[in-house]
Structure 1
Amino acid sequence: MKNFALIGAAGYIAPRHMRAIQDTGNRLSVAYDINDSVGIIDSISPQSEFFTEFERFHEHAWQLRRDPGRALHYVSVCSPNYLHHAHIAAGLRLGADVICEKPLVPTPSLIDELERVEQETGRRVYNILQLRHHEAILALREKTRAAPADRKFDVELTYITSRGKWYAESWKGDPRKSFGVATNIGVHFYDMLHFIFGSLQRNVVHYSGTEKAAGYLEYERARVRWFLSIDANDLPPEVKGKKPTFRRIDIDGQLLEFSEGFTDLHTTSYREILAGRGYGLADARHCIETVDVIRTAKATSGEGNEMHPMAWNLR
């Protein structure tokens, strides 16, 4: 049984990490969040220590090192995006391996810095890249690998996950903290595309705003038109008013269905990490490089066959 700490225990994604810790037979020893709305801990790990001040959490975690039976093995990071780097580094320096939500960090230079901290501490960082464990994604990857080496697939990615007015008031609506909509809701899709279709060769941004973004990516094995949005007005008529999210990937005109099968992917990710097969800094670098370019690039009008259909009205 491994001892875990959880940073960001009141966040949206934290319960999946709590359940993954429980489902893999391990112990959530201590949790931290500046907010105290963490009652879900009662149904998962009521014996866990909890702190709302990082200094007290850190001191408690440091003292646990004195007892080999209580010392932390892992620190799971679910805090706001802009705090990931600091919390990862703190976890490593506590003598634990770190499991972090995506986006790991905003820039490749911060991955370089975390590699230095790994070397200094002898511990490792793992990124939750759960789509790499999805059965439909794994099947498509095998299909791509079996295709002729010179074949490039034509892909259209559309992801609309509507958010209410609260979003703009939260840290997620502040690009200094979330790093923008493409990074915050899109980074795992860019990792998925790289995982399936190989290295990125071209990255063009057609539109970048506070609520949506669109562009074109060309990989070794695919040409991808993409559109991401948190605006409910972008939902197609058949979904609007019925579901808050629309997720679609067309590959050479065929729909990739992967709307289901997400429930247990965090637990799968934890099992792989605990078995020594987790995805580390080198695995996360490609998607971080991708979103770094998207976030800093100047939007440009593209060629007709490179633009996502929903991007035309944004020009």
Structure 2
Amino acid sequence: MKNFALIGAGGYIAPRHMKAIQDTGNKLVAALDKHDSVGIIDSYFPEADFFIEFERFDRHLDKLRRLNGGKAVDYVSICSPNYLHDAHIRYALRAGAHAICEKPLVLNPRNIDGLLEIEKETGNKINTILQLRLHPEIIKLKEKVRLANSDKKHDVRLTYITGRGNWYMTSWKGDVQRSGGIATNIGVHFFDMLHFIFGELQENVVHYASDSTSAGYLEYEHARVQWFLSIDDSYVPEEMKAEGKRTYRSITVDGDEIEFSGGFTDLHTTSYQEILKGNGFGVEENRVAISTVAGIRDANVIGRQPDSHPFVR
């Protein structure tokens, strides 16, 4: 059984990590969050020590490392705001643990090389949650593309709309300096999926970008992709809004819909299982997706309004 610590215990995604730690037969021994609304811990590891100050969390992990009896933390799971991932990964490795980090690994591709250096210095490993690479339907599609004509470029349309309330722009998620913006915060795992299936990125064009919506064109070795991402639920199809739904997800390849809505929750457990077997996704696997969202964020956008994007509404 491995000992885990978790940074960002109050975050939206933290419960999936707690469940994955539990499902794999391991133990959460310490958790950190500057906010104390973390009662969800009781559902998984009520005996875990909890800290709201980093300094006391650091001292506790150091104490566990110095004690005999196998109490040292083996892995630190990182669910903190995006802009802190880099620093928290570095801390985990220097504290003598491996890191498991939520997406995005970092905000800028230049930080990737620094993390590779820290891995070499410490001998500890950085693992990332790229859960869509483990989804059975995505694996099936990747194999289908591999077996197809190698010169073929598939026509892909990606639409992801997930309605968020007014709180979103007030939180760190609405601050591009801390979240990386819409494409990074809600889109990076889709862009990683596209690279995973269709090969190296060849072109990255942004048609529209605002605080709530972004759209553009990506070309990969084996695909031409039109994409649209938004947290504005006015773009959710009317028939879905009539049913009280605020999220719309669609990916089509050559006109055929790819259905992969089910199974998302369990993919964190699958990710942990692979990491514990030594098969986790490392730093380098993140480079293309991080470069993609950084390019989207840095683009000088002069283009059409989102309503004119070819697959909105």
Judge conservation of contact 2:208–2:306 (CA < 8 Å) in 1.
no
Q: Distance in 1 between matches of 2:208 and 2:290?
A: 19
Deviation by residue 1:120-161 (Cα, 9 ceiling, x = unmatched) = 111111110000011111110011001011111000000000
1:14 aligns with 2:14: yes
Which runs of 5 or more structure 1 residues have no equivalent in the other structure? none
Q: Distance in 2 between matches of 1:82 and 1:182?
A: 14
Deviation by residue 1:194-227 (Cα, 9 ceiling, x = unmatched) = 0000000000000111000000000000000000
Structure 1 position 308, deviation (Å): 8.5
Choose which of 284, 291, 294 in structure 2 pairs with 1:292: 294
Return the TM-score normalized by structure 2.
Answer: 0.96
Q: Distance in 1 between matches of 2:307 and 2:138?
A: 24
Q: Distance in 2 between matches of 1:154 and 1:221?
A: 9
Residues 1:29 and 1:54: Cα distance change in structure 2 (over 3 Å): same
Structure 1 position 261, deviation (Å): 1.5
Q: Distance in 1 between matches of 2:14 and 2:308?
A: 33
RMSD, matched Cα: 1.6
Detail structure 1 runs of 4+ shifted over 2 Å in the superposition. 307-314
Equivalent residue number for residue 147 of structure 1: 148
Structure 1 position 64, deviation (Å): 1.0
Q: Distance in 2 between matches of 1:240 and 1:12?
A: 23
Equivalent residue number for residue 35 of structure 2: 35
Judge conservation of contact 1:84–1:100 (CA < 8 Å) in 2.
yes
Q: Distance in 2 between matches of 1:313 and 1:208?
A: 16
- How do 1:1-315 and structure 2 match up within 5 A? 1-68=1-68, 69-241=70-242, 242-301=244-303, 311=309
Q: Distance in 2 between matches of 1:179 and 1:203?
A: 17
Residues 1:105 and 1:208: Cα distance change in structure 2 (over 3 Å): same
Q: Distance in 2 between matches of 1:119 and 1:309?
A: 48
Q: Distance in 2 between matches of 1:301 and 1:154?
A: 21
Structure 1 position 259, deviation (Å): 1.3
Across the two proteins, how many residue pairs are aligned to each other?
A: 310
Residues 1:309 and 1:248: Cα distance change in structure 2 (over 3 Å): farther
Q: Distance in 1 between matches of 2:311 and 2:187?
A: 21
Structure 1 position 108, deviation (Å): 1.1
Judge conservation of contact 2:81–2:179 (CA < 8 Å) in 1.
yes
Q: Distance in 2 between matches of 1:275 and 1:186?
A: 28
Structure 1 position 300, deviation (Å): 3.9
- 1:106 partner SS: coil
Q: Distance in 2 between matches of 1:310 and 1:245?
A: 20
Q: Distance in 1 between matches of 2:213 and 2:169?
A: 13
Residues 1:166 and 1:187: Cα distance change in structure 2 (over 3 Å): same
Q: Which moved more, 1:84-93 or 1:236-245?
A: 236-245
- 1:245 maps to a residue whose letter is T
- 1:238 partner SS: helix
Structure 1 position 311, deviation (Å): 2.3
- 2:146 partner SS: helix
Structure 1 position 67, deviation (Å): 2.4
Q: Distance in 1 between matches of 2:42 and 2:265?
A: 21
Return the TM-score normalized by structure 1.
Answer: 0.96
Structure 1 position 310, deviation (Å): 5.1
Judge conservation of contact 1:207–1:299 (CA < 8 Å) in 2.
yes
Structure 1 position 258, deviation (Å): 1.1
Structure 1 position 43, deviation (Å): 1.4
Deviation by residue 1:31-79 (Cα, 9 ceiling, x = unmatched) = 0000111111111001100000001001111111112510011000000
Judge conservation of contact 1:225–1:308 (CA < 8 Å) in 2.
no
